[in-house]
Amino acid sequence: MLSLQDMLFTQGFGTRRICCGLVQRGLVELGESRQSCTDPDAPVEGAGLVFWVQGARWEYHERAYLLMHKPAGFECSQKPGAHPSVYTLLPGPLRQRGGGAAAGVQAVGRLDHDTTGLLLLSDDGKFIHRMTSPRHHVPKVYQVTVRHPLDERQVRRLCEGVVLDDDPVPVKAAACQIVDPHHLELTLTEGKYHQVKRMVAAVGNRVEALHRSAIGCIELPEELAPGQWRWLRSDEVTDLERKR
């Protein structure tokens, strides 16, 4: 059991003082019936709880696991440079969950500002580590548009391994196939800086557009438009952790 005030704090609605004020002002309602509660210390059961804050509906999540369709022109950084941050596409509470220096959800690996597609975000450090550590070999599938026509020699080199300029150890694709003369589907199980672009350059071609279509067993939903996000279902989280 949590107090109502503490529950709101864990879900990112501000400091405990701010959460207390929201409750006392009658701005928090509980359940689908939207029962008003003005006692900050009222005990609530988090699991399965539906609640409303200033008229917006929320569901309690002990941990946040999100799936976003990252649009082009956004950086996966809390402190972006020349482009806006993907975190601005999320509502405030998701950016403040838990409080402290590492508050809010974090991107599970980064995509370049001009890369689109599937991006996972979470406030679960162990989950983030499992998804990003090369030891766990989580496959990530990319749709790559290239400048010059593809050939089987390029595919063979990508699968056998290419040497990047800052690492003497060859990196190779887990899978690679030509979809059409200018479209390559590439699967990687590790993530290095600009890896897809540098691998394609190493075989004599150039990436013109890059889109991540899947991570592990999760594919980017067709109905999710660029900039939109949704919660991962519990079975999706379980499958991601299990099938790696």
d(CA 199, CA 127): 27
Cβ contact 8:22 at 8 Å: yes
Is 112 in the active site?
yes
CB neighbours of residue 155 within 10 Å: 17
Given 39, 41, 112, 235, which residue is catalytic? 112
Q: What is the pLDDT of residues 127-185, one digit of tens each?
A: 999 999 888 889 999 999 999 999 999 999 999 999 988 778 899 999 999 999 999 99
For residue 85, name the pLDDT band (cuts at 50, 70, 90).
very high
d(CA 28, CA 164): 54
What is the structure's pLDDT at 102?
Answer: 67
Cβ contact 50:7 at 8 Å: no
Q: Where are the alpha helices (DSSP H) in 70-161?
A: 92-96, 125-132, 152-160
Above pLDDT 90, what percent of the chain? 85
Q: Give a three-class secondary structure readout of 70-87.
A: ECCCCECCCCCCCCCEHH
Q: What is the pLDDT of residues 21-71, one digit of tens each?
A: 999 999 999 999 999 999 999 999 999 999 999 999 999 999 999 999 999
Which of helix, strand or coil describes residue 76? coil
What is the structure's pLDDT at 135?
Answer: 85
pTM of the model: 0.92
The strand pair at 106-107 and 116-122 is best described as antiparallel
Domains along the chain with CATH numbers = 2-59 (3.10.290.10), 65-134+218-242 (3.30.70.580), 139-215 (3.30.70.1560)
Which of helix, strand or coil describes residue 170? strand
d(CA 164, CA 74): 26
Look up residue 193 and give its two tokens: 């800086």
Cα 240 to Cα 167, 184, 192, distances in angstroms: 29, 24, 21
